[in-house]
Amino acid sequence: MSIEADLILAQWLSPAYPVGAFSYSHGLEQVVADGAARDAGSFSQWLSDILEHGGGHSDAILLACAYRAEADQVEEIDATARALAPSSERQLETTQQGAAFAATTEAVFGPELGHLTYPVALGRAARLQGLPLEKTIAFYLHAFASNLSSAAIRLVPLGQTEGQKVLHALLPLCQSIAGSAQHMTLDDIGSSVFAADIASMRHESLYSRLFRS
């Protein structure tokens, strides 16, 4: 089951799985436009802060809560996820990816997920498929970081190798967050990346954009 679980998670969180992650930058496009992320070092710091203190950490907890929840509790967790979105674009990011993930997963794997935000949909699907929680969170965080690294390669711009170096350096952080978040509850959610949240709000009016967030 371990190999099968790995392969299912690799499929769900692959760029080939049609959730449209490539079209979202989590506010990074505005951060680059402001000059705050201008090279590998500054991008790596921004991304590690997002993972440890922002959306990455919050999503990991939401995923864990959805995984552990009974069916009648999932909607409440999802409502919390929507309320936590700091901007309309960030809410679009999580709701549209969640809807796309649910539609494909229902068609291929069978369980009905409904209209859920991305981490909540993934947590619920992993529970229904009997996949290990910590590994699911780790795969999710790695895919999240990978997508933003890909965006940085285009936006900063970083070279392909530099982008992969940043991503590789963050593997221990993804593992650490997954290990702790699997035991956390909604009461443990908190964010302190105010500059990134404000950037996501300002991105809505950025004149020239490649990304939807």
Q: What counts of helices (H) and strands (E) characterise the chain?
A: 11, 0
At 43, list the tokens: 């991008």
Q: Which pLDDT score, from 0 to 100, does residue 111 have? A: 81
Q: Which amino acid is at 19?
A: V
Task: Look at residue 1 in the predicted model and tell me its pLDDT.
Answer: 58
Q: Residue 171 domain-assigned?
A: yes
Q: Is residue 148 part of a domain?
A: yes
Residue 207, domain member (yes or no) = no
Q: Whole-model pTM?
A: 0.97
pLDDT at 87: 96
In a domain, 21, yes or no: no
Task: Give the separation between CA 60 and CA 167, rounded to whole angstroms.
Answer: 18
Q: What is the per-residue pLDDT for 2?
A: 82
Residue 132 included in any domain: yes
Q: Which domain holds residue 131?
A: 2-14+28-201
Residue at 22 is within a domain: no
In a domain, 81, yes or no: yes
Contact 203, 90 (CB under 8 A): no
Question: Can you state the angle between helices 40-53 and 194-202, rounded to 10 degrees?
Answer: 110
Which residue shows structure tokens 């009905």? Answer: 112
Distance CA 204, CA 213 (A): 7
Query: By the 8 A CB rule, do 84 and 119 touch?
Result: no
CATH value at residue 157: 1.10.4190.10
Contact 122, 64 (CB under 8 A): no
Predicted confidence at residue 186, as pLDDT, reads: 97
How many structural domains does the chain have? 1
For residue 144, the Cα-to-chain-centroid distance in whole angstroms is 4
How far is the C-alpha of 47 from the C-alpha of 153, rounded, in Å? 13
pLDDT tens string, the chain, 213 residues long: the values are 589 999 999 999 999 999 999 999 999 999 999 999 999 999 999 999 999 999 999 999 999 999 999 999 999 999 999 999 999 999 999 999 999 999 999 999 988 999 999 999 999 999 999 999 999 999 999 999 999 999 999 999 999 999 999 999 999 999 999 999 999 999 999 999 999 999 999 999 999 899 999
pLDDT at position 84 is 95
> Quick check: is 209 in a domain?
no
